[in-house]
Amino acid sequence: MNLVEFPGVRLAIQACNAVLDAAVRPPVTVGPAWPWPARPSRLRLVVSIVWAVLAAGATASTVAELIVGDKVSSVLGTLIGVAQCVPLLLAVRRPLVAWRIMVLGQLAGVIAVYQYAPLWPWPVGGCLAMTVVLFQVAASYGRPTVVGVGLVTALLMLVPAVPVVRTPPWLVLILCGVVALVLVLGDAILGRRTAEARLAEQEELRRQDLARQAVLEERSRIARELHDVVAHHMSMIAIQAEAAPLKIPDLPPAAQETLTAIRGAAREALAETRRVVGLLRNGDELPERVPQPGLDRLDELIDAGRQSGLSIEPMVVGVPRSLAAGVDLSAFRIVQEALSNAARYAPGAHVRVAINYGGQRLRVAVTDDGSGNGSGDGPADGSEPPPVTQSGGGHGLVGMRERVAMLGGKLATGPREDGGFEVVADLPYGDPPRPT
């Protein structure tokens, strides 16, 4: 049997690897050294000042205790005190490197006071600095490295005090427990920070997935709506191609063959379009049986919006003209979604709906002043405002952006400087519909 398969041997190998991770191998941080702020700020400056004061105070206290209390020479005491506390400044960025220097300083301190043989050979300032760095190491590195740090700390800092200065073993055991407690606390902090980071990452991924899903659903909805428009024109092409031989007698055979090909292509395209759009429908979703709306039904939207509690001021600028079916439908849906959002987030507000027939583009602007009987989250009585329309609701701004992008237009949405919200869409006219 392989020796590695024995639990004791495997545990010893893991312990050796942990010690090597802590004492020799290049450190790999799991998170930023706690409590150092991740970004430069005023808080970071304050923490730096506090850290420098703590390091200076601990160093002065340790040097004084070694020289005065433990009868160590001034040069040696200063060097040991610097090794035990000054690396605290390095712990801001590299806590594991700082710990490696400090644990060697602690070992040197235990050896330096062997003639005096005190019961407690560790200076108080050095112990406080070591405690802080141990916590930082546990809160910044992986668990194997933390285990190695605990083992090396016990072997180099605590256990040598028993044979060198005759510190009672029970006291060393208590201190080992304190070191383990500090490391466990730091590891728990790291685990919580890691879990929070993963949760935030998952939330961001979920938000992106929901946004993509909303876009796909809106595109599917737009495709289903435009299917009716395309189907109408394709049907007219097929009908006209089939009726042409009856309206025009004595057509040349070549013209009749061309019309027959046009009729067949139109019918095939119509069938394929219906098949593709059928895949976009949900299993329980029935096809639309009513004509797709346009700006000729703007008055219906205005009346429904007023019934929901909005004060609406309609305005039409320019001479109304015939619009391409997609432009007409998109303009209607943009007004519909804007009024629905106003009824939901600014109930009772004054809304202005402006349709501007420009020379090259159709401008649709819906603005509200944000003043209503609510605070922007809903009606004052807590009830849900009635919908502006009973059907056709989409994903709000997502649907508007998809419709405007499909037509090659421009969309501007956002809060107004004097309060309220505005939606402004510029839609190119495209090719005007031809009379049938």
Tell which wins on pLDDT, 403 or 127.
127
The answer on 397 and 301 residing in a single domain is yes
At 379 the pLDDT is 39
Max intra-chain CA distance, the chain: 128
The answer on 299 and 276 residing in a single domain is no
The answer on 349 and 223 residing in a single domain is no
Beta-carbon-side half-sphere exposure of residue 301 (alpha carbons within 13 Å): 28
For residue 351, give the CATH number of its domain.
3.30.565.10
289 has a pLDDT exceeding 70: no
* Domain assignment of residue 310, yes or no: yes
* pLDDT, mean over the chain: 79
Tell me which of 43-52, 130-139, 296-305 is least confident: 43-52
* Domain assignment of residue 320, yes or no: yes
The answer on 266 and 136 residing in a single domain is no
Query: What gap in Å lies between CA 301 and CA 392, rounded to an integer?
Result: 12
* Domain assignment of residue 182, yes or no: no
Residue-wise burial string across 202-220, b where 16 or more C-beta atoms lie within 10 A, e elsewhere? eeeeeeeeeeeebeebbbe
Tell me which of 77-91, 131-145, 263-277 is least confident: 263-277
* Domain assignment of residue 199, yes or no: no
What token pair was written down for 413?
């949405």
The answer on 109 and 68 residing in a single domain is yes
The answer on 345 and 274 residing in a single domain is no
Closest by alpha carbon to 398, among 203, 209, 216? 216
Average pLDDT over residues 290-318: 84
Q: What secondary structure does DSSP assign to 387-431, as a single string?
A: PSSSS----THHHHHHHHHHHT-EEEEEE-TTSSEEEEEEEE--S
* Domain assignment of residue 39, yes or no: yes
Query: What gap in Å lies between CA 245 and CA 180, rounded to an integer?
Result: 96
At 193 the pLDDT is 82
At 34 the pLDDT is 58
The answer on 158 and 82 residing in a single domain is yes
Omega before 293 within 30 of 0, i.e. cis:
no
What is the sign of the dihedral through the CA atoms of 406, 302, 392 and 297?
negative
Is 426:363 a contact under the CB 8 Å cutoff? yes
- pLDDT tens per residue across span 339-376: 888 888 888 889 999 999 988 889 999 998 877 544 34
The answer on 56 and 160 residing in a single domain is yes
138 has a pLDDT exceeding 60: yes
- Structurally, the chain folds into a number of domains equal to 3
What is the sign of the dihedral through the CA atoms of 316, 317, 321 and 322?
negative
pTM comes to 0.56
What is the sign of the dihedral through the CA atoms of 159, 163, 167 and 170?
positive
* Domain assignment of residue 13, yes or no: yes
E-assigned strands of 295-342?
311-317
Query: What gap in Å lies between CA 150 and CA 109, rounded to an integer?
Result: 19
* Last-in-domain residue among 109, 133, 167: 167
The answer on 64 and 15 residing in a single domain is yes
The answer on 82 and 52 residing in a single domain is yes
* Domain assignment of residue 349, yes or no: yes
Query: What gap in Å lies between CA 277 and CA 285, rounded to an integer?
Result: 12
What token pair was written down for 353?
């709906």
At 6 the pLDDT is 56
75 has a pLDDT exceeding 70: yes
Tell which wins on pLDDT, 232 or 189.
189
* Last-in-domain residue among 137, 167, 197: 167
The answer on 299 and 273 residing in a single domain is no
- pLDDT tens per residue across span 3-46: 455 566 677 777 787 777 777 777 666 665 555 666 667 777 88
Average pLDDT over residues 122-151: 89
Strand partners, 365: 354, 424
The answer on 262 and 310 residing in a single domain is no
Instruction: Write out the residue range of the structural domain in which residue 258 sits.
Output: 215-280
Is 336:388 a contact under the CB 8 Å cutoff? yes
Q: How confident is the model at residue 257 (pLDDT cuts 50, 70, 90)?
A: confident
Average pLDDT over residues 379-385: 38
* Last-in-domain residue among 152, 167, 182: 167
* Domain assignment of residue 210, yes or no: no
Beta-carbon-side half-sphere exposure of residue 138 (alpha carbons within 13 Å): 23
